[in-house]
């Protein structure tokens, strides 16, 4: 090829102003390194992603199978989706939380809760307004705010505040230009739960300052020892300011199905539906039918599934403590949040991978506020968790390049 006057110009980089503003997605470089190690015959224990190794409820699968054979389900779902799905979700929220939501005005099916979380800022943020976000936190919060032209205001979640956002410490000028507060309890990655009084305070704070309160409740059902995390919509006045995101991914081992919903303030729900009208055409109705089957399995299937995670939690906590690590036993979520020996979570995660063949998530990859910790996901058997803890034991006292932990 010659570079003459008529040769086409090099393609311009697409959307660079937004791409450059986005943080690197955690684990982005991990798959390639994992593949190399696996090809080299390393027996990797992957505790990186929150993606369970267990099967979904049989009733969900049966309903999806039947729906797939029925051509009526193959039509466009649009944002309305399957009315029976909306009704089943509303009925479940009533059963579980004692909260009644209008299935057609206060609820919207989502292609996984991530999709709704990431699109929400487009519906409620004005350009340049701030969103108050937990740090570390699920990266779709930050990405969605940046893509909407907003400013993420990250608040570190630290042990001295029980991993809660200290609302009274957010600078007044930030509160004044903020439109959104995102909370996520039970929390990924810190595994913290929020006391009811805190959630009540958050509702009052958002009402006082005119913020939309976004509660990400992806782990509402993965809770142990009798703990039942409340819905934000249970608190007085919440419906005026709050929406809550729910997911089938963790409760029912349905990460790949891409199904969730948002419920709460009707103006916010309607605004999100309007944005989505231009983005997607709804969740496959067969998947929504499967979702009905999952919700029907809540009473008799979910407790057994949660018990698997409870046993894994105990095995992981015992194993890691015996290996010399410092961590709390969480009341909820499918994770453990562990102090990183030496304090540099990236260096620890790299040593865990290269020296122990164990994939962990460095806390700092979910935001600087996560530095000093690493996260493990309870997505392998108890035996493998114990094995992982044994392999990590030599690193608990510090490792090459770090001070003793
Ligand atoms: C805190 C949190 N919120 C939301 C999600 C998204 O779940 P999904 O999009 O699969 O419903 C996840 C998944 O890991 C999560 O950890």
Which domains, from first to last, does the chain contain? Answer: 20-49+301-395 (3.90.1150.10), 58-296 (3.40.640.10)
How many CB atoms are closer than 10 A to CB 264? 27
- Taking the CA of residue 50 as reference, the ligand 1 atom at the shortest distance is 14
- Strands 178-183 and 212-216: what pairing? parallel
Digit-coded pLDDT (tens) for 121-136 = 999 999 889 999 999 9
What pLDDT does residue 2 have? 43
Judge if the beta carbon of residue 184 lies within 6 A of ligand 1.
yes
- 40 HSE (CA, 13 A, CB side): 10
In this prediction, residue 18 carries a pLDDT of 82
pLDDT of residue 34: 86
Tell me the C-alpha distance between 145 and 180, whole Å. 9
Q: What does the pLDDT average to over 317-345? A: 97
Ligand 1 near 218 CB (within 6 A): yes
**pTM of the entire predicted model:** 0.94
Q: pLDDT-derived band of residue 174, with 50, 70 and 90 as boundaries?
A: very high
Give the three-state DSSP class for 8: coil
Q: What average pLDDT is seen over the chain? A: 93
- Centre of ligand 1 from the C-alpha of residue 250, in Å: 8
Record the tokens describing residue 99, joined without a space: 């909260």
Instruction: State the closest ligand 1 atom to the C-alpha of 260, by its place in the atom list counted from 1.
Output: 11
> pLDDT value at position 403?
47
Nearest to 275 by CA among 284, 267, 287: 267
Reply yes or no on whether the pLDDT at 27 is more than 80: no
Q: Which atom of ligand 1 is nearest to the CA of 137?
A: 1
Residue 249 Cβ inside 6 Å of ligand 1? The answer reads: yes
pLDDT per residue as tens digits for the range 45-77: 999 999 999 999 999 999 999 999 999 999 999
Q: How far apart are CA 395 and CA 392, in angstroms?
A: 5
Query: Any idea which residue has 């600087």 for tokens?
Result: 368
Which residues neighbour 402 within 8 Å (Cβ) at sequence distance 6 or greater?
341, 342, 343, 344, 347, 348
- pLDDT, residue 12, reads 62
CB contact at 8 A, 19 and 357: no
Q: What is the pLDDT of residue 404?
A: 43
Type and span of the H or E element at 200 = helix 196-209
Location of structure tokens 């029976």 = 84
* Structure confidence by residue, pLDDT tens digits, 92-122: 999 999 999 999 999 999 999 999 999 999 9
Distance CA 293, CA 297 (A): 6
Residues 295-303, mean pLDDT to the nearest whole number: 98
Q: Which atom of ligand 1 is nearest to the CA of 247?
A: 11
Least confident segment among 34-38, 98-102, 172-176, 399-403: 399-403
Of 109, 188, 217, 287, the residue with max ligand 1 atoms within 8 A of its CB, to mutate for a pocket test, comes to 188
237: left (phi over 0), alpha (psi -120 to 50) or beta: left
* Residue 252 Cβ < 6 Å to ligand 1: no
* pLDDT tens digits, 349-396: 999 999 999 999 999 999 999 999 999 999 999 999 999 999 999 999
Q: Which atom of ligand 1 is nearest to the CA of 113?
A: 11
| Backbone dihedral angles phi then psi of residue 102, each to the nearest 5 degrees | -75, 120
Q: Is 138 in the pocket of ligand 1 (CB under 6 A)?
A: yes
Cβ of 139 below 6 Å from ligand 1? no
Could you tell me which residues come within 8 angstroms of residue 337 by beta carbon, excluding any fewer than 6 positions away? 189, 190, 191, 327, 328, 330, 363, 373, 374, 375
Cβ–Cβ < 8 Å for 131, 154: no
The response to whether residue 114 sits with its C-beta less than 6 Å from ligand 1 reads yes
Q: How confident is the model at residue 19 (pLDDT cuts 50, 70, 90)?
A: confident
Q: What is the distance between the alpha carbons of residues 98 and 241, in angstroms, rounded to a whole number?
A: 19
Nearest Cα residue to atom 5 of ligand 1: 114
Which of 218, 222, 370, 375 should be mutated for ligand 1, with most atoms under 8 A from CB?
218
């Amino acid at each position: 090829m010659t570079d003459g006057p008529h040769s086409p110009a090099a393609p311009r980089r697409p959307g660079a102003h937004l791409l450059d503003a986005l943080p690197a997605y955690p684990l982005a470089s991990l798959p390639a390194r994992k593949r190399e190690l696996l090809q080299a015959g390393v027996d990797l224990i992957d505790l990186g992603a929150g993606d369970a190794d267990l099967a979904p409820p049989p009733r969900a699968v049966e309903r999806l199978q039947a729906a797939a054979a029925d051509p009526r389900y193959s039509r466009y779902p649009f944002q309305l989706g399957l009315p029976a799905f909306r009704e089943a979700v509303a009925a479940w929220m009533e059963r579980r939380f004692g909260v009644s939501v209008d299935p057609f005005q206060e609820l919207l099916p989502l292609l996984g809760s991530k999709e709704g979380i990431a699109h929400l800022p487009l519906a409620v943020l004005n350009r340049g307004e701030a969103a108050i976000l937990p740090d570390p936190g699920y990266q779709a919060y930050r990405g969605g705010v940046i893509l909407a032209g907003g400013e993420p205001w990250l608040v570190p979640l630290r042990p001295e505040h029980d991993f809660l956002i200290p609302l009274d410490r957010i600078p007044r000028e930030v509160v004044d230009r903020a439109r959104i507060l995102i909370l996520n309890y039970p929390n990924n990655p810190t595994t913290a739960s929020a006391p009811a009084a805190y959630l009540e305070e958050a509702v009052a704070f958002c009402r006082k300052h005119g913020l939309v309160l976004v509660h990400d409740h992806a782990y509402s059902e993965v809770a142990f020892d009798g703990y039942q995390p409340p819905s934000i919509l249970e608190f007085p006045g919440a419906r005026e300011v709050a929406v809550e995101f729910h997911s089938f991914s963790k409760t029912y081992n349905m990460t790949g199905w891409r199904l969730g919903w948002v419920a709460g303030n009707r103006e916010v729900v309607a605004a999100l539906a309007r944005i989505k009208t231009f983005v997607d055409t709804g969740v496959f109705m067969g998947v929504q039918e499967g979702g009905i089957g999952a919700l029907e399995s809540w009473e008799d299937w979910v407790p057994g599934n949660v018990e698997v995670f409870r046993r894994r939690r105990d095995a992981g906590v015992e194993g890691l403590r015996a290996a010399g690590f410092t961590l709390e036993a969480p009341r909820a979520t499918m994770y453990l949040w562990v102090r990183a020996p030496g304090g540099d979570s990236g260096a620890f995660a790299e040593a865990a991978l290269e020296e122990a063949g164990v994939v962990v998530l460095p806390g700092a990859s979910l935001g600087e506020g996560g530095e000093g910790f690493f996260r493990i996901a309870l997505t392998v058997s108890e035996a493998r968790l114990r094995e992982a803890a044994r392999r990590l034991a030599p690193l608990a006292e510090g490792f090459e390049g770090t001070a003793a932990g």
